[in-house]
A and B are shown apart, each in its own frame.
Chain A
C-alpha cells in the first residue's frame, strides 16, 4: 500500500499567520491518465471530514481562497495564507491513485 507521511503532526499557529502542511507519498501519485489524485480534507472537532482540495490544487466549492494546494509526483503541500479561528482541526491528505486509497496520519492545527 502507498504510505502517506504528513509533517508536522502538530502545528500551533498565531491567528492571521500562514501555515503549511507537507504530505509525501511512498510512490508517485501520477496516474496513467496524467492526473494526480491527491486530495486534502479538514476535520473540525466533532465533525465529519470535509474535502478542501482535489487533484492537488483544485479548491472545492465554498472553500475560502486562503486554502491552496500544490505539489507533484510524491511531494505535496497544503497552505493556509492567514489562519483563522475556524481553521482549527485535523488536516489529512489522501491519495486516490493506487488502491487502496490511503490517508496521511493527520496534522492537528491549533491556535497559539
Chain B
C-alpha cells in the first residue's frame, strides 16, 4: 500500500526554523517528483515546492523563495522541507504529495499532513 507519512511539525516562534520530513513507502520513491503543499487553518490549498527525482531541479512558490528549501534522500525514501525565517502566515498543515511535474502523477497521493504553528 502506498503511504506518505509526514512529521516534524510543531509550535515555533516567528523568525525560527523547522524541518519537516516525509517518509514514503509502497512505490519506487526515486522515480517520482515530490512536492509540499500547505493549507492554512480553515483556508484553501497552496502548492509550496517540488523537487525532481534526483534533486537536481527544485521549484518554489514566491512567498517561500529564499526561506524554504526542499530536499530528498532517495536511499531513505524521504522528502524534507527546511523552513527558516518563519512568519505567522506560514502557519498551516503541510502535506507531502507525490508528483510535481506535468505528468499523470501530479498530486495523485497525499500524506495526512503535519501542523506548523508560528506564534510567540
Contacts and interface: CB of A to CB of B under 8 A. Distances in A.
Contacts, number: 60
A39 interface: yes
B38 to A, nearest CB: 11
How many of chain A's residues touch chain B, expressed as a range? 20 to 34
B88 to A, nearest CB: 21
Interface in B45-62: 45-47, 59-62
A49 B44 contact: no
A76 interface: no
A49 B106 contact: no
A50 B111 CA distance: 10
Interface centre among B45, B47, B113 (most CB of A within 10 A): B45
Closest 8 CB pairs of A and B: A101-B47, A100-B61, A48-B110, A103-B45, A96-B106, A106-B44, A37-B102, A51-B108
15 contacts: A31-B102, A37-B102, A37-B106, A39-B106, A48-B112, A49-B45, A54-B104, A54-B106, A54-B107, A94-B47, A96-B101, A96-B107, A100-B62, A102-B47, A106-B45
